[in-house]
Structure 1
């Protein structure tokens, strides 16, 4: 694909520790992806190849601050894309993470854990954008776009929360080599570790938001189904642990009342000693 090949030079520059070079590369990538003509013509294979390039841009990125910045920038690309292109783009991300996960060495794993967290967070935040604002009793404005909610939850159900261990691969196509055969346990465990954190940050745990409560329950149901269906002991245990998070409805502990039975040593009572 000619357009994809032209994009590779600035994708490589995203790994640069030079802020000016990285900023220029990001601007070029934004221009490339925001073009409706280009985004509409991107095939699944094109997206997988682009994500492969972005994966290795982060792979080659050194130093903590540039790594953190690049993770945030890659996660926020969904806000640059036209709406219709977001789901294919995120599907390409999950396929790339699943394919490459077991090849990531210990020294590089932390930045990819962060990338997954940032993408999950951006996906949850994207569910709010585009909806019509509604006033809650607290006076805050909420806006959940239910079509976007369906899109994000379906993607989670297709990849990290999938009830099947094997990914969906179209046999006999060029993209077969870019789509993983299985969904790694480590990737599943990480998403199970972080989903409640990111749901809380985006407001899904707010009890006075009826729509948010319904969305949260759908997520809980997905994780519960995964716990029941998985054949992987580690996934089952981690699913159960995440469902037991005390921030989730039904798990919240009541405030501990002060013990009123503590003996008051100054109550003026007399002690007559031990009986014979």
Structure 2
């Protein structure tokens, strides 16, 4: 049971200052997760609560980043049917615990989130960007960090995922991608976001030059507005 894993010493030991202890704990956790054909939503939330506070207690910057990368690497060890529930539990945990992250700890969670955005797209890419998988992953984002209207999702979480979205898709590579399916959660947020600033942030993602290239648009089709500004000002008149 994942509830047993959450209470197991190897979860706590992942935040150890001793590298050997950390590595042994990570190996144990990977072996545990790799053996599971399914994990209940409640047990996944219990597991993620333990992992969240494991990172919370890690104070050394280099080890924070190492731990974040290690946590993101767990995605690649999971069986296919476990991946999306695992990601969903991650996003639910980030949303629930967001208000408990103080300013001194925020950067390490922002880094963890970036690692998870990358790991999730990398998992979809390894499967060949299959339409069904892309759609299912998109729904996880729509119901989680890119939710258009769920008040339980902090706006700060939404903004950060939008900030890193294009970068991490680009890192994975878009060869063979039906890009409109990948962008669907951002498109929905741009249309239906509960506040104007969120809709605008989503629109800026869609207006990114890389996104426009992926869509086959010319980046020269839309000017930067500088010429229009000059015409409106008109210069200094005699």
TM over 0.5: yes
Matches of 2:200 and 2:7 in 1, distance apart?
42
Task: Give runs of aligned pairs for residues 74-223 of structure 1, distance below 5 A.
Answer: 74-130=71-127, 143-166=128-151, 182-204=152-174, 209=175, 211-212=176-177, 214=178, 216-223=179-186
Matches of 2:169 and 2:202 in 1, distance apart?
15
Evaluate the alpha carbon distance shift between residue 2 and residue 67 of structure 1 in structure 2; reply closer, same or farther with a 3 A threshold.
closer
Matches of 2:124 and 2:104 in 1, distance apart?
33
The residue aligned with 1:30 is: 30
CA contact (8 A) 1:71 1:114 kept: yes
Deviation at 1:199, TM superposition (A): 0.8
CA contact (8 A) 2:134 2:181 kept: no
The residue aligned with 2:69 is: 72
Deviation at 1:247, TM superposition (A): 1.5
Aligned residues: 217
Q: TM-score, normalised by structure 2?
A: 0.84
Evaluate the alpha carbon distance shift between residue 117 and residue 5 of structure 1 in structure 2; reply closer, same or farther with a 3 A threshold.
closer
Matches of 2:193 and 2:77 in 1, distance apart?
36
Find the residue that maps to 2:125 and give its secondary structure.
coil
Evaluate the alpha carbon distance shift between residue 75 and residue 251 of structure 1 in structure 2; reply closer, same or farther with a 3 A threshold.
farther
Higher helix proportion (structure 1 or 2):
2
Deviation at 1:49, TM superposition (A): 0.4
Question: How big is the alpha-carbon RMSD for the aligned residues of Structure 1 and Structure 2?
Answer: 1.9
1:235 equivalent in alignment to 2:232 = no
Larger-gyration structure (1/2): 1
Matches of 2:17 and 2:210 in 1, distance apart?
39
Matches of 1:98 and 1:183 in 2, distance apart?
5
Deviation at 1:79, TM superposition (A): 1.2
Deviation at 1:224, TM superposition (A): 2.5
Evaluate the alpha carbon distance shift between residue 91 and residue 221 of structure 1 in structure 2; reply closer, same or farther with a 3 A threshold.
closer
The residue aligned with 1:63 is: 60
Query: Which structure 2 segments of 5+ residues have no match?
Result: 222-238
